[in-house]
Structures are given as structure tokens and as C-alpha cells.
């Protein structure tokens, strides 16, 4: 009997400790609030946990790589504000601050060649990646006055206004336990426009680094984004991705050649191929059910 009571007491204290550890402290009211009330909901939100998924319940899956172009109007909440303001940041500023200042997001190198999160980057490596150096700059050689030598200087930092696209790596799958077609984002990669040493555009994109999306979800859940019509009902970055409130097109699907669409289709044909892949996923789910 004493043993049972002892375990009951331990269990009660364990539950109390767990609930206390999970409690999120609400932010303190600022001395000079910029508004008529203190915003607490977004700052204390948590990312919605994924439904448990067993391998035995996945009867079909397809890996898809997408491109989010921030120049499209529906994607503007991910791009603006270009300079952080009191209650909002762009998606890239959130990622950069979490990676460099807080260390809560891990970045992975070799983004253009590898998207399997194998080359983890240090803070110094991330900083080097985000700084553009002018290799054409010259300075006088201190050892040989009158002689000019190459002296690269820090030219332009890669800021959020230069990040105009994102790659998304995601898995579509059918969960037979719930009888639903679901999707989960695996990775996110910011892109900038590739330029020559003289600053001219090459017409292509340069991938910076990959981040593991599930690791970033708690950070995204606490970052507001702009919503039209009602500032009191703003969404978060997590809501944007969770509710698929963005526009994108397919750049690659899992295939035997491991090639992207642009390797075998160009121009309008590439866009039609992207639509075909999205339509095939829709038809696959639709054909499972009879009406």
C-alpha cells in the first residue's frame, strides 16, 4: 500500500513539473505600448503538433520540390517588411536572426547540390555566406608604395530585400489510418539573384542554405505577418505554411533521373509540366473515392 501511495505522489509531482515546464510566460506590457492593448496571443503560441504517422499507414507518397516567388502578390507577406519593424519581420529576417543571434535554427550548406541536411554550418560560416565581397577592389601595397594590389572589401550584405525566392522540399502522402491526403514541408531554402563581379544579373538564382522546417516551426509560430482588412486577426508565418496560403510552382518531383523540370522542359512547357504534376496528385486522391 505504501508503495502505491509513493508512486502516486511521484506521478502527481511529475505532472505538476511537466505542466510548469511547458507553461509559457506572457510578455510584459511595454511602458509605452504601440497600440490600445498588449499583444500576447502570437508571442505565446505554439506550433500545432503533427499527427503521429506510422510507416505502415502510408500507402502512397510523393516528394515534391517547389519554388515560392515572392514577387507574386499573394506571397508579399513573406517578403515585407524589407526592414524589420516593431511587430513584423520578413521571413528571411526571422530565419537570419534565429540562426545567428539565437542559434535556434540550424543552417545546412551546399544548398544547390545537397538538400538532405548533411552539411551543418557554424555561425561564422553563415555570416560569410551572407556577406558579398567586392573582389575587384584594389589598394596600395604598404610594402611597395605606388603599387596596387587586390584588396577585397565588404560590399553589400545579403538582406531580406535581396531574397526573392524560396525552395520548398515537401512530402505528399496518403494516410490510410485517417483516409486523408496530407503534406508536410521538410526543408526551406532562400534564394538570391546571382550576379557577376561587376554587379550585373546573370538571370539565374543562387541558393544560400537549407533549414530543417520542423525545427523552425516554433519560431515561425511566434512571428506575425500582415493580413488585409483586419489587423486584429493577423496570421503567423506558421499559419502561412500550415494553411498553404502561398503561391508556388513545382520545380522537381522524385524521379529515376533525379533531375529538375528545367533539365527536360523549357519556358511554357516547364510551367505546363509543373501543372501536370500538381494535377496528377489531385487525380490520385480523387480516384480513391467513389461518389
Peptide bond into 278 cis (omega under 30): no
CA distance 113 to 132: 21
Task: Please give the model's pTM, rounded to 2 decimal places.
Answer: 0.81
Specify the pLDDT at position 135.
Answer: 63
Question: Where are the alpha helices (H) located in 130-228, listed in sequence order?
Answer: 213-220
Q: Which secondary structure element, helix H or strand E, spans residue 5, and what is its range? A: helix 2-22
Provide the β-strand partners of residue 253. Answer: 64
Specify the pLDDT at position 143.
Answer: 75
Residue 194 neighbours by CB under 8 Å, 6+ apart: 201, 202, 204, 205, 206
**Beta carbons of 208 and 222 less than 8 angstroms apart:** no
**Beta carbons of 165 and 67 less than 8 angstroms apart:** yes
- Per-residue pLDDT 10s for the chain (291 aa) are 555 454 454 444 444 444 433 444 555 666 777 888 888 888 889 999 999 999 999 999 999 999 999 999 999 999 999 999 988 999 999 999 999 998 999 999 999 999 999 999 999 999 888 876 666 666 777 777 777 776 666 556 788 999 999 999 999 999 999 999 999 999 999 999 887 766 677 778 999 999 999 999 999 999 999 998 899 989 999 999 999 999 999 999 999 999 999 999 999 999 999 999 999 999 999 988 876
**Beta carbons of 135 and 149 less than 8 angstroms apart:** no
- Cβ-based neighbour number of residue 271 at 10 Å: 13
Secondary structure (3-state) at 170: strand
Cell of 1: 500500500
Domain ranges for the chain? 57-286
Amino acid at each position: 500500500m505504501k508503495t502505491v501511495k509513493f508512486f502516486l505522489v511521484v506521478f502527481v509531482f511529475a505532472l505538476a513539473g511537466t505542466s510548469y515546464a511547458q507553461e509559457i510566460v506572457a510578455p510584459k506590457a511595454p511602458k509605452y505600448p504601440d497600440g490600445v492593448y498588449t499583444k500576447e496571443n502570437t508571442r505565446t503560441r505554439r506550433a500545432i503538433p503533427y499527427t503521429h504517422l506510422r510507416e505502415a499507414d502510408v500507402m502512397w507518397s510523393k516528394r515534391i520540390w517547389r519554388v515560392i516567388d515572392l514577387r507574386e502578390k499573394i506571397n508579399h507577406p513573406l517578403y515585407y517588411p524589407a526592414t524589420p519593424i516593431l511587430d513584423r519581420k520578413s521571413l528571411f529576417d526571422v530565419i537570419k536572426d534565429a540562426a545567428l543571434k539565437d542559434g535556434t535554427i540550424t543552417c545546412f550548406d551546399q544548398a544547390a547540390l545537397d538538400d538532405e541536411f548533411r552539411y551543418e554550418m557554424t555561425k561564422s560560416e553563415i555570416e560569410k555566406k551572407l556577406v558579398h565581397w567586392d573582389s575587384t577592389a584594389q589598394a596600395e601595397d604598404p610594402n611597395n608604395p605606388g603599387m596596387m594590389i587586390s584588396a577585397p572589401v565588404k560590399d553589400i550584405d545579403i538582406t531580406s530585400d535581396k531574397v526573392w525566392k524560396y525552395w520548398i522540399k515537401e512530402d505528399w502522402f496518403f494516410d490510410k489510418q485517417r483516409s486523408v491526403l496530407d503534406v508536410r514541408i521538410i526543408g526551406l531554402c532562400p534564394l538570391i539573384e546571382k550576379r557577376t563581379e561587376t554587379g550585373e544579373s546573370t538571370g539565374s538564382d543562387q541558393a544560400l542554405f537549407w533549414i530543417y522546417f520542423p525545427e523552425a516551426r516554433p519560431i515561425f509560430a511566434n512571428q506575425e505577418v500582415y493580413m488585409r482588412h483586419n489587423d486584429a486577426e493577423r496570421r503567423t508565418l506558421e499559419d502561412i505554411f500550415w494553411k498553404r496560403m502561398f503561391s508556388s510552382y513545382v520545380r522537381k518531383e522524385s524521379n529515376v533521373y533525379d533531375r529538375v523540370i528545367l533539365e527536360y522542359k523549357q519556358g511554357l512547357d516547364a510551367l505546363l509540366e509543373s501543372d501536370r504534376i500538381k494535377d496528377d496528385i489531385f487525380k490520385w486522391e480523387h480516384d480513391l473515392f467513389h461518389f
